[in-house]
């Protein structure tokens, strides 16, 4: 009987040793991406409450930090510096105050950020100003300083939580030169994502020996090659082809998704995309088993969390009341009046007052003979009455510059052929769709392709025969003044910088102009963004009465007019 207490003591001692050797650590990582200025539950453009926003994320974070403490890591995946007037104000109007983005993200205690293409669009000066005032590293391993050959931003960041070592590698889509003027990123080169990932994974493994490796990629999941050289939306490709990642947070494509892929060594990799505007966040929970303070087992799960059920954080809103009031005063300023309501909805069915107003202003600002423009927002309008600064963000969504380019008549026709081929269906009967639309999973109809690539033209008169194939749809009859249009002649054409740099492939794949040749075609480029000049124009011409130019139409009209009414109702749920 005396042996029993001894055995019991020995057993308890053994249990104590095992317990000392083994412990569990839980870590949560939360990703925002493509926030596009959705800092507050209010849309400063539409002047109405908005869903999502970092104000709701703040409430979610308070809840989660109560559970995880400092074992919660918060990451932003870029495209945070463009999208709302609040950012335009702090990017270009008030350039001396601490930037609003820095104030917000520091308040929310972000641990790491990443550079997005729309962040680069603000220009190097704005990006460096924000970087300087952020209390966390901003990554960009494949943004290379051309003078030194080294990354212009910190390539990766390291974190230690509960004895677990985490490495986070940041990459951006390299296709920036396809969309943005070089002076915005002068001195930088954007290296291929896969090539860069292979290099830094080896460095991280050898130098840091982390327990887990996370990629944060400002790049989507459906890979394609742009300008015959840039691998765009390559996140899943990198996750599969470059072994070593446990998790890849992605973004850029505004397409929420969570999926597991298997890499080339048979290992599982979570790929998480939270979508845009802080409507959702991506979250990854990591459960680690440590023996003698070394990770021996890890179990990872991932998902998306909707911010719909979270109320805006009152303390957060109070913290930024001064900045909110400042931005409201900026967007509320009246700069003119308009005598009718104009909408992008009509732009898909023919010549429209909304897009033709952009055409008219582009022609007057540039002095060009012909204008190419598209509806940059899928469904928006400017109401009759006072025109405020906020309306100009409805009229023109992005901070594009205005280019004047030299194009031949044939190239102009080919651009339109490519545009309308994506825009319209080829009708074979009067019952077919006019527009190239398809039913979504939610039973609603949407365009197959992005509407911001649906360029129409002003300065010329033409028809679009939707019964004909691509290459035979467009018939240009005359210039706007009635003089003949020559396919072999050169014309001065006003386009935005996104299009002029090759965005949307209308000038490259459509017109057959090589990517390398595009810069030589630019005769003039504005110093400021196009919206700036549009605002100045309205201030100088404060009474607007926009009307459709009626310089183009779909044919045969006996088919297209009824089809237009049907498709309009499918897209917008109402009659025109």
> Mind giving me the DSSP string for 462-524?
EEEETTSPTTSSEEEEEETTS-B--TTSEEEEEEEHHHHTTGGGIIIIIT---TTTHHHHEEE
Domain identity same for 428 and 480? yes
The domain that contains 344 carries what CATH number?
3.90.780.10
> How many Cβ atoms from other residues are within 10 Å of residue 106's Cβ?
14
Q: Quick: pLDDT tens for 288-337.
A: 999 999 999 999 999 999 999 999 999 999 999 999 999 999 999 999 99
Residue 99 in tokens? 């930037």
Residue at 41 is within a domain? yes
Residue at 154 is within a domain? yes
Q: How confident is the model at residue 17 (pLDDT cuts 50, 70, 90)?
A: very low
Angle between the 100-107 and 124-133 helix axes, to the nearest 10 degrees?
30
pLDDT score of 551: 98
Domain identity same for 389 and 319? no
CB 492 within 8 Å of CB 476 = no
576, pLDDT greater than 90:
no
- Domain hosting residue 502, numbered range: 334-572
Give the whole-angstrom CA distance, residue 527 versus residue 511: 26
Q: Quick: pLDDT tens for 541-570.
A: 999 999 999 999 999 999 999 999 999 999
CB 402 within 8 Å of CB 365 = yes
The domain that contains 29 carries what CATH number?
3.60.21.10
Q: Quick: pLDDT tens for 106-163.
A: 999 999 999 999 999 999 999 999 999 999 999 999 999 999 999 999 999 999 999 9
9 CB-contact burial (10 Å; exposed 0-12 / middle 13-18 / buried 19+):
exposed
Domain identity same for 350 and 459? yes
Domain stops at, among 306, 327, 348: 327
Q: How confident is the model at residue 21 (pLDDT cuts 50, 70, 90)?
A: confident
Element (H, E) at 138: strand 138-139
Residue at 4 is within a domain? no
Domain identity same for 94 and 140? yes
Give the whole-angstrom CA distance, residue 302 versus residue 260: 9
Domain identity same for 174 and 304? yes
Nearest to 191 by CA among 230, 248, 153: 230
Give the whole-angstrom CA distance, residue 176 versus residue 527: 19
Domain identity same for 360 and 286? no
Domain stops at, among 278, 311, 327: 327
For the CA atoms of 112, 139, 124, 85, the dihedral, rounded to the nearest 10 degrees, stands at -40
pLDDT score of 20: 57
Domain stops at, among 305, 327, 349: 327
pLDDT score of 10: 46
Average pLDDT value for the chain:
94
> Mind giving me the DSSP string for 353-411?
HHHHHHHHHHHHHH--SEEEE--SSSS-EE-SEEEEHHHHHHH--S---EEEEEEEHHH
The total number of structural domains in the chain stands at 2
Residues 6+ apart with CB under 8 A from 369: 363, 459, 479, 491, 492, 493
Residue at 146 is within a domain? yes
pLDDT score of 1: 45
Residue at 5 is within a domain? no
Give the whole-angstrom CA distance, residue 290 versus residue 286: 13
Provide, rounded to the nearest whole percent, the portion of the chain with pLDDT above 70.
97
Q: Quick: pLDDT tens for 172-195.
A: 999 999 999 898 999 999 999 999
Residue at 385 is within a domain? yes
Domain identity same for 372 and 296? no
497, pLDDT greater than 90:
yes
Nearest to 37 by CA among 96, 104, 6, 82: 82
Domain identity same for 148 and 245? yes
Residue at 43 is within a domain? yes
Q: Quick: pLDDT tens for 336-380.
A: 999 999 999 999 999 999 999 999 999 999 999 999 999 999 999
Domain identity same for 258 and 365? no
CB 371 within 8 Å of CB 363 = yes
Q: In this structure, what DSSP letter does residue 92 have? A: I
Q: How confident is the model at residue 12 (pLDDT cuts 50, 70, 90)?
A: very low
Domain identity same for 446 and 563? yes
For the CA atoms of 124, 130, 132, 137, the dihedral, rounded to the nearest 10 degrees, stands at -100
Domain identity same for 422 and 340? yes
Domain identity same for 237 and 311? yes
Mean pLDDT for the stretch of residues 399-410: 96
Q: Quick: pLDDT tens for 26-78.
A: 999 999 999 999 999 999 999 999 999 999 999 999 999 999 999 999 999 99
Residue at 12 is within a domain? no
DSSP-derived pairing of the beta strands 460-465 and 402-408: unpaired
Mean pLDDT for the stretch of residues 224-232: 92
């Amino acid at each position: 009987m005396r042996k029993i207490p001894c055995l019991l003591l020995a057993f308890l001692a053994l249990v104590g040793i095992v317990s000392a050797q083994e412990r569990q650590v839980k870590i949560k990582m939360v990703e925002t991406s493509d926030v596009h200025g959705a800092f507050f539950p209010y849309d400063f453009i539409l002047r109405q409450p908005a869903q999502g926003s970092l104000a709701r994320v703040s409430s979610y974070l308070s809840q989660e930090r109560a559970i995880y403490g400092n074992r919660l890591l918060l990451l932003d995946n870029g495209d945070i510096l463009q999208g709302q007037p609040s950012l335009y104000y702090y990017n270009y109007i008030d350039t001396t105050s601490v930037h609003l983005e820095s104030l917000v993200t520091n308040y929310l205690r972000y641990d790491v950020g990443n550079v997005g293409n729309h962040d680069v669009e603000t220009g190097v000066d704005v990006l460096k100003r924000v970087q300087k005032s952020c209390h966390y590293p901003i990554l960009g391993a494949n943004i290379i300083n051309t003078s030194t050959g080294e990354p212009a931003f910190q390539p990766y960041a390291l974190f230690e939580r509960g004895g677990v070592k985490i490495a986070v590698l940041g990459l951006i889509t390299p296709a920036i030169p396809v969309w943005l003027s070089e002076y915005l990123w002068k001195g930088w080169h954007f290296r291929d994502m896969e090539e860069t990932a292979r290099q830094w994974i080896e460095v991280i493994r050898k130098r840091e020996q982390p327990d887990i490796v996370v990629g944060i990629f400002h790049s989507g999941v459906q890979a394609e090659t742009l300008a015959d050289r840039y691998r765009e939306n390559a996140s899943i490709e990198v996750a599969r082809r470059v072994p070593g990642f446990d998790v890849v947070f992605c973004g850029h494509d505004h397409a929420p998704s969570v999926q597991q892929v298997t890499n080339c060594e048979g290992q599982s990799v979570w790929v998480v995309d939270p979508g845009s505007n802080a409507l959702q966040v991506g979250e990854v929970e990591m459960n680690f088993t440590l023996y003698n303070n070394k990770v021996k087992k890890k179990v990872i799960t991932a998902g998306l969390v909707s911010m719909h059920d979270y109320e805006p954080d009152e303390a957060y809103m109070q913290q930024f009341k001064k900045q909110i009031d400042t931005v409201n005063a900026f967007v509320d300023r009246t700069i003119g009046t308009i005598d009718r309501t104009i909408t992008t909805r009509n732009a898909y069915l023919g010549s429209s007052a909304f897009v033709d107003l952009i055409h008219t202003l582009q022609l007057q600002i540039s002095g060009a003979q012909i204008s190419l423009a598209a509806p940059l927002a899928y469904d928006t309008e400017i109401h009759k009455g006072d025109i405020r600064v906020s309306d100009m963000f409805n009229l023109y969504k992005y901070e594009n510059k205005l280019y004047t380019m030299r194009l031949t008549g044939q190239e102009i026709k080919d651009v339109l052929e490519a545009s309308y081929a994506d825009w319209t269906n080829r009708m074979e009967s009067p019952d077919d769709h006019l527009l190239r639309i398809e039913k979504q999973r939610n039973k609603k109809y949407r365009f197959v392709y992005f509407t911001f690539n649906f360029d129409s033209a002003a300065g010329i008169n033409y028809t679009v025969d939707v019964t004909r194939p691509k290459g035979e749809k467009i018939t240009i009859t005359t210039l706007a003044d009635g003089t003949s249009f020559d396919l072999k002649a050169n014309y001065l054409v006003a386009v935005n910088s996104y299009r002029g740099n090759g965005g949307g492939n209308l000038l490259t794949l459509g017109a057959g102009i090589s990517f390398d040749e595009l810069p030589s075609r630019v005769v003039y480029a504005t110093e400021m963004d196009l919206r700036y000049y549009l605002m100045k124009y309205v201030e100088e011409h404060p009474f607007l009465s926009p009307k459709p130019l009626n310089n183009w139409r779909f044919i045969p009209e006996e088919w297209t007019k009824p089809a237009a009414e049907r498709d309009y109702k499918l897209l917008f749920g109402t009659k025109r």
